[in-house]
Structure 1
Amino acid sequence: MDTLKLYVESSNPAQAYYLDEVEIRQVSETPTTPPTEPTSGIESRFEDGTAQGWVSRMGTETVQVSNADARTGSYSLLTTGRQQTYAGPKLDVTATVQKGSRYTVSAWVKLAPGEQQPAKVRLSVQRDHQGESTYETVVGNTAITTGGWTHLYGTYTLAHEADTVSMYLETPEGTASFYMDDFELSLVPPLAIEKDIPSLHGLYQGQFSIGTAIEAFQTEGAYGELVQKHFNSVVAGNAMKPISLQPSEGQFHWEEADRIVQFAQQHGIAIRFHTLVWHNQTGDWMFKDKNGQPMTPTAENKKLLLDRLETHIRAVAARYKNVITDWDVVNEVIDPDQPDGMRRSKWYQITGTDYIDKAFRVTREAAGPNARLYINDYNTHEPKKRDFLYNLVRDLLAKGVPIDGVGHQSHIRLEFPAIDEMEQSIEKFASLGLDNQITELDMGLYSNDTDHYETIPEAMLIRQAHRYRALFDMFSRQQEHISNVTIWGTDDGNTWLSMFPIARLDKPLLFDERLKAKYAYWALVDPSKVPPLPAGSNE
C-alpha cells in the first residue's frame, strides 16, 4: 500500500456539518517483517589470511594478520605500534549483539617477542548512543607473557540502548605489542528460572528479610522473575552510589535508580539505599574548592564540603523518602591501620569525623523518623576493626547522632573468616541496642588473590554449600538482632568477584549464571539434596 485516505461523507450532499478532534491511534503493532533474532555469534581465527573485520581502534596502531605465531592453525592477529594504553584491535559487533541478550566472549592473547613481561591486557566494550560513549570491562586486567597463550573469558549483556557497539583489547599501562587468536562471541540461550522450587525469602519469613543487589536491567525478564520469587528486599548494586546519582554538581541522574524503585514498589519489595556518603565512587567535583582545585583542610573548604554533602542527601531523600526503608548513610569509614581507626579519606582530611555526624543528622531530618539509618563497613568480624567501629558508633550515639544499626558487608571466602567471629561482632553491636544487617553477602571460592580456575571443582561448591548453611544457622540464632540479610548479586553471572581482586572465574552466590539453584541454595532449603562434605573438610 502506498497511500491511505480517510474521508467523511453524507447521504445529503447539501447538508453542512462540523468536524473536530479527529484522532488516529495505533492499537496494535503488526510488523511488516519478522522481529530481529539475536545473531548467534562471531568467530575470528584469521585462517583466511585477513583481519576478518578487526581494525585499528585509534588509527595509529598497526593491526594485521601474522603467521609468526598462532594458537591454532597458521595465523593470528598482531597489534604493534600502540601509542596509547587504549589503542588496540577493535571489532564492530553492532549487527551481532541485541539489547537484553547475553553473550560469552573468549579470546587468546600472547605478548609479542621482545616486550617486557609480564604485561596486562583487558577486553572492553565501547557502546555509543546519541553521541555519548560508554565503556565497559568484559574481562579485567589479565597478565600475559611471551611464553604461552592466555585465555580471556567473560560474559557480556547489552543492557542499554546503543547505536554502535565494539569490542577491543587494551592495556591498563604501557603500549606492548601482542597477538590475539581464536576470538569467539557466542549467544547464551535465554535464561529461565526454576519456578517449582521453594521461595528463599519465604523460608526465613518471621526471622529477617532476604535481599539481593540488582541493576536496573535485572528488573525485567528472567532476572526480574528470580528477584520476585526469592527476595523480598533489593538494593541497587551501583545505581544509587554518589557518582551514579550526581556525577557532576547539581546534575542528578535518576533513571536507573527510579527503575529499581518502581520495580520494587510494583511487587511489594522493600528497598535498601546504598549509599549516601562514601570515599569511593563519588564525583571528583565533590572534593574541589570553589576555584576547581583539590581541597585542602581549611575552614572554608570544610563548610563547602559539608554543604555539598547536605545538598546531596536532601535531594536524594526528597525523592525516595516515602519508599526506601533502610539507608546506608556512610560507608567504609574505618581503617584499622590508622592510630585512631579512621580512614584518611578526603571526607576525613577536610572535616574530621564531622561529616559522619552531619550525614546522619541530615538524613534523619530529610528521610523522616521512620527511616532506619546504618553505618556500613567490611571485615567487621576482625576484632581490631570491629572495636574501632564500635567505639566510633558508641561515641556518636552518646552525642545524639541518630544511628539505628550497623551494616556488615560480609564479603567472605570459603576458608575464612570464622563464623564465630562474625557472630561475636553482631552480638557486640547489639549490646548498644542497635540493629544489624548483613548487607553485601557473598562467598568467594579462592583462598588467595592469585589462583584461577578454568572450571570450578564440584568439591568446592559442596564445601561452599555447607558453609552457607552454617552461616545462615548463625543468622537464625541471631534473628533478634538481624533484620535483613542481603546477597550481593542475583547469580554467579553477575558478581563483582569476576573482576576482583583479579579477573577470574568465581561462583560466590546461591544461583548459577543460568539462574539455576546451586548446592548453596539447597543447603538452605533442603540440605538432603547436598552431598556430604568432601574428605578433609571441616566446615
Structure 2
Amino acid sequence: MRASLRLALVSLAAALPVAAAMVATTAASAADEPTPITVLTSDFEDGTTQGWAGRASEAVAASTTVAHGGSGSLAVTGRTATWQGPSLDVLGEFEKGTAYTISAWVRLATGSDNARLSVERRTDGIAAYDQVVGNTAVDSGRWVNLTGRYTLATDVDFLRIYVETASSTGDLFIDDVTASYVPALPIQTTIPSIKDVVTEFPVGASITGAEIVTEHGQLLDKHFNSVTPGNALKWDATEPTEGTFTYAQADPLVAFAKAHGMAIRGHTLVWHNQTPSWVFTGADGQPMTATAEDKALLLERLENHIRNVAAHYGTDIGVWDVVNEVIDENQADGLRRSTWFTVAGLDYIRTAFRVAREVAPHAKLFINDYNTNVPAKRDKLYALVAQLKSEGVPIDGVGHQMHINVSWPSVAETKAMLDKFLPLGLEQQITEMDVSIYTSNGESFPAPPADRLLQQAYVYRDMFALFRQYEGEITSVTLWGLADDNTWLDTFPVTRKDAPLLFDTRLQAKSAYWGVADPTKIGTSTSPPPTTVSPSPTTPGPTTPSPTTPGPTIGTTACSVTYRVTGSWQGGFQADVRVTNTGTTAWTSWTLGWQFPAGQQISQLWNGGVAQSGATVTVANASWNGTVAPGASASFGFLGSWTGTNPSPAGYSLRGTACTVA
C-alpha cells in the first residue's frame, strides 16, 4: 500500500567469489546515472517571479527576506486555503513517459506545518492531481528540500507543479526549484523473460501510470504476466466522496494489462488506510462509534463501495485482495483496532467477502497482510481465517506481502509461514514482495553497495526457489514495483535511495534479476546467516514492550530526537522517530516519552513497544534495539490518527530527562 506499510536490520560481511562479486559490481555500475539534463530552474535571483503564480487569490512576489541560495526567493502571502500556493506551468517542458526529478526548497514565514509538492493536470477540462512529495515537516527556522520523481503518463492540455500545505494557511517561501531527467536506456531485449523462466505461477509487478508508457511499458510486457494497480483501486482513488465513483487512475492500467494478456490483481477493497474520512463519519456528522446506527451505515457504505468497484471491472479482475492488514498480533484476539473493527467488529470482514463473492463470483478472494512470517502474526492470521472459513465466509486465499530485506527473514521462517496455511486448503500468493538493501533505519548509501546487491540476489534466488516448490499451492508472486526508479521504499521508513527490485533505476537487469532468471550468473555462494531473527526495523514487527530495566544515568544533553512525518492522509499519518545517544555512556535500554499537542492517537508502532494515555505517549525499545552506543541512534515508526491539525510534539524526554530536538 501507498502501498501498504512495513520494514529494516543489521550489517553483513561475507567472503564472496571473485566472479560473483564482479556481477554485483557490474550491476551497481549500471545503476549509476549520468549527469541529468535540467529542463527547469527557478532561483528568483533576477527579482521576478520567473513565471510562478498563485492558484487563487494569494499573492506571489520575488523577495529578499530569506533565501536558500543567493539573495532571492519567492514569497507567497495572503493564502486563505491550504491548497493555495506557488504554481508553475510545465506543459511545454515535460514530455509524456519521461521520469523527471523535481526539487524545491520550502520554508514557512512563521510556525510549522507539513508541505507537499504536487502536480495538477487536466485533460478536456477534467482535473486530476498527482502527489510528487507527500507531507514533509517544514517550519520557519530552516529550508527543507522536497524532492520526488514524476512521470506524466497521459496526454494533457494543462500541467502545473505546485507547493501546498497540510493544515495552515500562513505565508511561505520557495527557492531553487529544479526539474531534470536522465535519458532512458533501451531495455535489454536479449535476456530471458522472467515469465518464461518461472512457469509454476504468474509473476507480477505493482504499477502506476508511469509503468505502462515508453521503456517502462516495454519492460513490464517483456517480463511479467500479472499486474497489481498499486494505489489506483484503493478507496480514496475510486470513491473520494460518497457515491461518486471514478476510475481514471485504474482504467488505463487495466486496459494495458488486458491488451498485453496479463492477469490483474485487484488491490484492495477494504483497508484501514487510504480510506476517506467520510466513510467513518456518522449521519450526525460525528466520528462513528460502536452504535447500531453507525454500524449499519458503515456496512451499507462498504457494500455499496464493493458492488460498484468490483462490478465496474467484472471479469477483467480475477483476484481481489478483499481485506488488507486486519491483524494486530499484540491484541489478545489478534485483530487490528481499526475504525472498521471498533464500529462493526468482524462483520465488516464477513460483509466484504460476502458482497465480493456476489458481485464477482468468478474471482478468487484473498485476505492480505504483512509480516506473516513472524510466528505471532502468522498464527493470529491462521486462527482468523480458520474461524471465518468455518462460518462459511468465502475466502479463497491468503496473501503474504513479503516486504523483506537482505538479512530477514530466513528461508526456514518463510517456509514455516507457507506450511502453516496448507491445512486450510486455500491458495497462497506472494502479493507485494521487495527486498530492501538496508539493514537498519540509520543506514543510507549514496549508491547501492556491491555486496548488498549480491546479497539481495541470493535472497531473491532462495525465495523464488522456495516458492517454486509450492506449485499449485502458491498461485501468484507479485513484486511491489517494476524497477528501482519508482519504489515506496525511497521514502519509507526514512528518506533514502533504496534498490529493492530486479531492475535498476535505468531499467537494466541487476544481480537480483539473475537470481531469479539464472542463478548460475551470480555464483554458488549461499546467503550468510542473518545476525538477527527479529523482524527488520524496516518491517513493522511485533510491538511487545521491551524490558525497562534502568540503564545508565542520562545527563541533560545525552539525547536528541528527530521526529518526522513521512506520510499523511485525511485523518491519518505515518511518522518516523530517531533517538540519538549524544552522551558518552552506552545505553542498555531506553524509554522515550512525549505529549501529543493536538489529540493524535497511535494505532500501530514498530521497532518498539508503545503505551498511550490521553496525550501522553511512552515508547520502550524492542528486544533487539535497546543497546545504543555513544553517537549511535535507534529508530521506530508508527501509524496514527489526527483531526484538525497534526503538529509535532514540542519536546521529548528519555526516562524523564529532556532531550534536544534535532
Aligned to 1:22: none
Q: Note if 1:478 corresponds to 2:470.
A: yes
Structure 1, unaligned stretches of length 5 or more? 1-38
Q: Residues 141 and 262 of structure 1: is their aligned pair in 2 closer, same or farther, counting only changes over 3 Å? A: closer
Larger CA deviation: 444-453 vs 497-506: 444-453
Q: How many residues align?
A: 494
Q: How does 1:182-193 map to 2 (within 5 A)?
A: 182-190=176-184, 192-193=186-187
- Counterpart selection for 1:420 from 405, 412, 427: 412
CA–CA separation in structure 1 for the residues paired with 2:351 and 2:66: 63
CA–CA separation in structure 1 for the residues paired with 2:519 and 2:391: 47
Q: Note if 1:41 corresponds to 2:50.
A: no
- Per-residue CA deviation, residues 429-460 of structure 1 (Å, 9 max, x unaligned), is 11222221000111223334454444333333
| Conservation of the 8 A alpha-carbon contact between 1:139 and 1:499 | no
Q: Residues 314 and 120 of structure 1: is their aligned pair in 2 closer, same or farther, counting only changes over 3 Å? A: closer
Q: Note if 1:106 corresponds to 2:91.
A: no
CA–CA separation in structure 2 for the residues paired with 1:173 and 1:316: 31
Aligned to 1:195: 189
Q: Residues 311 and 110 of structure 1: is their aligned pair in 2 closer, same or farther, counting only changes over 3 Å? A: closer
Letter in 1 for 2:192: P
| Conservation of the 8 A alpha-carbon contact between 1:122 and 1:141 | yes
- Per-residue CA deviation, residues 453-511 of structure 1 (Å, 9 max, x unaligned), is 44333333222222222221221233342111001111122222233234332221111
CA–CA separation in structure 1 for the residues paired with 2:293 and 2:68: 61
Q: Residues 325 and 380 of structure 1: is their aligned pair in 2 closer, same or farther, counting only changes over 3 Å? A: same
CA–CA separation in structure 1 for the residues paired with 2:140 and 2:247: 47
| Conservation of the 8 A alpha-carbon contact between 2:269 and 2:321 | yes
Q: Note if 1:513 corresponds to 2:511.
A: no
CA–CA separation in structure 2 for the residues paired with 1:347 and 1:68: 47
Q: Residues 55 and 346 of structure 1: is their aligned pair in 2 closer, same or farther, counting only changes over 3 Å? A: same
Aligned to 2:394: 402
Report the TM-score, using the length of structure 2 for normalisation.
0.67
CA–CA separation in structure 2 for the residues paired with 1:417 and 1:527: 20
Letter in 1 for 2:383: N
Larger CA deviation: 269-278 vs 174-183: 174-183
CA–CA separation in structure 2 for the residues paired with 1:482 and 1:338: 29
Aligned to 2:222: 229
CA–CA separation in structure 2 for the residues paired with 1:239 and 1:62: 34
Q: Offset of 1:150 from its aligned partner? A: 5.9
Aligned to 1:301: 294
Q: Note if 1:246 corresponds to 2:242.
A: no
Letter in 1 for 2:97: G
Aligned to 1:136: 130
Larger CA deviation: 213-222 vs 262-271: 213-222
CA–CA separation in structure 2 for the residues paired with 1:305 and 1:173: 27
The percent of aligned pairs where both chains have the same amino acid is 47
SS where residue 316 of structure 2 aligns? coil
- Counterpart selection for 2:254 from 230, 252, 261: 261
Letter in 2 for 1:75: S
Aligned to 1:17: none
CA–CA separation in structure 2 for the residues paired with 1:147 and 1:530: 49
CA–CA separation in structure 2 for the residues paired with 1:444 and 1:82: 44
Q: Note if 1:523 corresponds to 2:515.
A: yes
SS where residue 414 of structure 2 aligns? helix
Q: How does 1:50-69 map to 2 (within 5 A)?
A: 50-55=48-53, 60=58, 63-66=61-64
Letter in 2 for 1:64: A
SS where residue 306 of structure 2 aligns? helix
- Counterpart selection for 1:77 from 70, 73, 76: 73
Cα-Cα RMSD: 3.4
Larger CA deviation: 467-476 vs 304-313: 304-313
Larger CA deviation: 379-388 vs 135-144: 135-144
Letter in 1 for 2:101: T
Aligned to 1:26: none
Q: Residues 225 and 67 of structure 1: is their aligned pair in 2 closer, same or farther, counting only changes over 3 Å? A: same
Q: Residues 122 and 366 of structure 1: is their aligned pair in 2 closer, same or farther, counting only changes over 3 Å? A: closer
| Conservation of the 8 A alpha-carbon contact between 2:429 and 2:477 | yes
Larger CA deviation: 422-431 vs 275-284: 275-284
CA–CA separation in structure 2 for the residues paired with 1:379 and 1:121: 31
Larger CA deviation: 415-424 vs 448-457: 448-457
CA–CA separation in structure 2 for the residues paired with 1:399 and 1:191: 54
| Conservation of the 8 A alpha-carbon contact between 1:247 and 1:283 | yes
Structure 2, unaligned stretches of length 5 or more? 1-36, 532-662
Aligned to 2:319: 326
| Conservation of the 8 A alpha-carbon contact between 1:82 and 1:88 | no
| Conservation of the 8 A alpha-carbon contact between 2:229 and 2:253 | yes
Q: Residues 174 and 316 of structure 1: is their aligned pair in 2 closer, same or farther, counting only changes over 3 Å? A: closer
SS where residue 356 of structure 1 aligns? helix
Higher RCO (Cα < 8 Å, 6 or more apart)? 2
| Conservation of the 8 A alpha-carbon contact between 1:142 and 1:502 | no
Report the TM-score, using the length of structure 1 for normalisation.
0.80
SS where residue 296 of structure 1 aligns? coil
- Counterpart selection for 2:118 from 113, 119, 124: 124
CA–CA separation in structure 1 for the residues paired with 2:163 and 2:436: 27
- Per-residue CA deviation, residues 239-283 of structure 1 (Å, 9 max, x unaligned), is 222232223333222344333333323322111111122222233
SS where residue 295 of structure 2 aligns? helix
Q: Residues 88 and 532 of structure 1: is their aligned pair in 2 closer, same or farther, counting only changes over 3 Å? A: farther
Aligned to 1:91: 88
Larger CA deviation: 477-486 vs 436-445: 477-486
Q: Offset of 1:232 from its aligned partner? A: 1.2
| Conservation of the 8 A alpha-carbon contact between 1:408 and 1:438 | yes
CA–CA separation in structure 1 for the residues paired with 2:106 and 2:285: 42
Letter in 2 for 1:52: Q
Q: Offset of 1:143 from its aligned partner? A: 6.0
CA–CA separation in structure 1 for the residues paired with 2:315 and 2:452: 43
Q: Residues 252 and 57 of structure 1: is their aligned pair in 2 closer, same or farther, counting only changes over 3 Å? A: closer
Aligned to 2:574: none
CA–CA separation in structure 2 for the residues paired with 1:41 and 1:123: 17
Q: How does 1:171-182 map to 2 (within 5 A)?
A: 171-172=165-166, 181-182=175-176
| Conservation of the 8 A alpha-carbon contact between 1:63 and 1:89 | no
Aligned to 1:214: 207
CA–CA separation in structure 1 for the residues paired with 2:291 and 2:65: 62
- Counterpart selection for 1:391 from 383, 390, 409: 383
CA–CA separation in structure 1 for the residues paired with 2:424 and 2:187: 41
Q: Offset of 1:292 from its aligned partner? A: 4.6
Q: Residues 306 and 103 of structure 1: is their aligned pair in 2 closer, same or farther, counting only changes over 3 Å? A: same
Q: Note if 1:164 corresponds to 2:158.
A: yes
SS where residue 274 of structure 1 aligns? strand
| Conservation of the 8 A alpha-carbon contact between 2:410 and 2:530 | no
Q: Residues 143 and 292 of structure 1: is their aligned pair in 2 closer, same or farther, counting only changes over 3 Å? A: closer
Aligned to 1:461: 453
Larger CA deviation: 215-224 vs 51-60: 51-60
CA–CA separation in structure 2 for the residues paired with 1:204 and 1:431: 26
CA–CA separation in structure 2 for the residues paired with 1:79 and 1:450: 35
Q: Offset of 1:235 from its aligned partner? A: 1.3
CA–CA separation in structure 2 for the residues paired with 1:509 and 1:210: 13
Letter in 2 for 1:478: Y
Aligned to 1:27: none
Aligned to 1:358: 351
Q: Note if 1:282 corresponds to 2:262.
A: no
CA–CA separation in structure 1 for the residues paired with 2:275 and 2:491: 20
